[in-house]
Amino acid sequence: MTSWPLLIAAALLSLERACYGAIARSPGAFRRLCARPRLARLGEPVAVVRRLFYGFKALQLSVFAGWCWVHRPDLATPPDGGPAALAIGAGLILAGQLLNASVFYRLGSAGVFYGNILGRDVPWCREFPFSVLSHPQYVGTVLSIWGFFLAARFPHEDWALLPLLETVYYIAGARFEDSAVRSALEPAAGGPAHPVESPAHPDPALIR
């Protein structure tokens, strides 16, 4: 019962990471695409990324809800994990959302949604949470995902499948985007255009 739902979920959840990876790798092409009349009505490139973010979050949450429904059609019944799983899951979600909120506080909307490679002047940030984590919003997202499935699906055998899948996606996405963003910020003459060792670059993620 898990194979087909897992394949479908993996395909749908990969769309977000693939899209953000493409934007990070070719920001110039994305800006030209956003300049076309149909997309230009949606706003500047950063505004388009923000709209994409909301769409992908709706898709992601729908996949999670669908997964829970497939494995437990009667969603009205309480989860089987007991108070401990609910408490730990809630704690992970809270920690994750605090990290996500702190990223928005430090970078603002333009910084979160790829403003530094889409024509916006986004100062590098070295304050918390970037002082301790390279990708605090990705970490916050993954913590939130693990917390949700721990609370909703533990101790059933499927409870860790989507969290593991998303963890792999976010790690791979972070590494790819790091490389792509560093390349995008290299000026034509060589040498870094910004202190690229700073971790303050965008990482759109879950339930922000």
Q: Which residues touch 93 (CB under 8 Å, ≥6 apart)?
A: 143, 144, 147, 148, 151, 207
Report if residue 203 sits inside a domain.
Answer: no
Residues shown for the chain: 208
Report if residue 148 sits inside a domain.
Answer: yes
> Is the CB of residue 167 less than 8 Å from the CB of residue 130?
no
Q: How many domains does the chain have?
A: 1
Report if residue 198 sits inside a domain.
Answer: no
21 closest CA partner among 56, 47, 59: 56
Which residues constitute the domain of residue 135?
Answer: 3-184
Written as six digits, the tokens of 188 are: 């034509």
Mapping DSSP onto H, E and C, the string for 139-190 reads HHHHHHHHHHHHHHHCCCCCCCHHHHHHHHHHHHHHHHHHHHHHHHCCCCCC
What are the start-end ranges of the H helices in 26-81? 27-34, 37-40, 45-71
pLDDT in tens, 98-111: 999 999 999 998 88
> Is the CB of residue 131 less than 8 Å from the CB of residue 200?
no
More confident residue, 72 or 205: 72
Report if residue 206 sits inside a domain.
Answer: no
7: left (phi over 0), alpha (psi -120 to 50) or beta: alpha
> From CA 190, how far away is CA 7, in angstroms rounded?
43
Report if residue 88 sits inside a domain.
Answer: yes
In the DSSP assignment, the letter for residue 208 is -
Report if residue 146 sits inside a domain.
Answer: yes
Report if residue 195 sits inside a domain.
Answer: no
Neighbours of 122 (CB within 10 A): 21
Question: Has residue 64 got a pLDDT over 90?
Answer: yes
Report if residue 121 sits inside a domain.
Answer: yes
pTM of the model: 0.84
Question: Has residue 198 got a pLDDT over 50?
Answer: no
> Is the CB of residue 151 less than 8 Å from the CB of residue 138?
no
Q: State what percent of residues in the chain have pLDDT above 90.
A: 60
Q: What is the mean pLDDT of residues 60-73?
A: 91
